[in-house]
Amino acid sequence: MFESTFQKELARRAGAQAEIATNTNLIDGLMLQIGPIVIVVQNTGYGINITISISLGAINFVRFPAAA
């Protein structure tokens, strides 16, 4: 039940910068696609983008940093 609500809230924020925490990683990037799998693109700062797929159930929390 909570997972579907969580997915809808993340989908509402698709295209936003986010910090996503799992048990082993903290991923900082742009959320592109939201579903059972969340697709995040990290910009390394050197012109290389890394695409990461995260299972919705593996996410512990998501934080949306305030714009500076």
Instruction: Tell me the C-alpha distance between 4 and 49, whole Å.
Output: 29
Residues 27-49, mean pLDDT to the nearest whole number: 91
Residues 26-48, mean pLDDT to the nearest whole number: 91
> Is the pLDDT confidence value at 40 over 90?
yes
Note the helical H segments in the chain.
2-12
> Is the pLDDT confidence value at 67 over 70?
no
Model confidence, pTM: 0.86
Closest of 43, 35, 39, 37 to residue 15, by C-alpha: 39
Closest of 8, 45, 35, 67 to residue 53, by C-alpha: 35
> Is the pLDDT confidence value at 68 over 70?
no
Domain assignments of the chain as residue spans, ordered by start:
2-61
Residues 55-65, mean pLDDT to the nearest whole number: 95
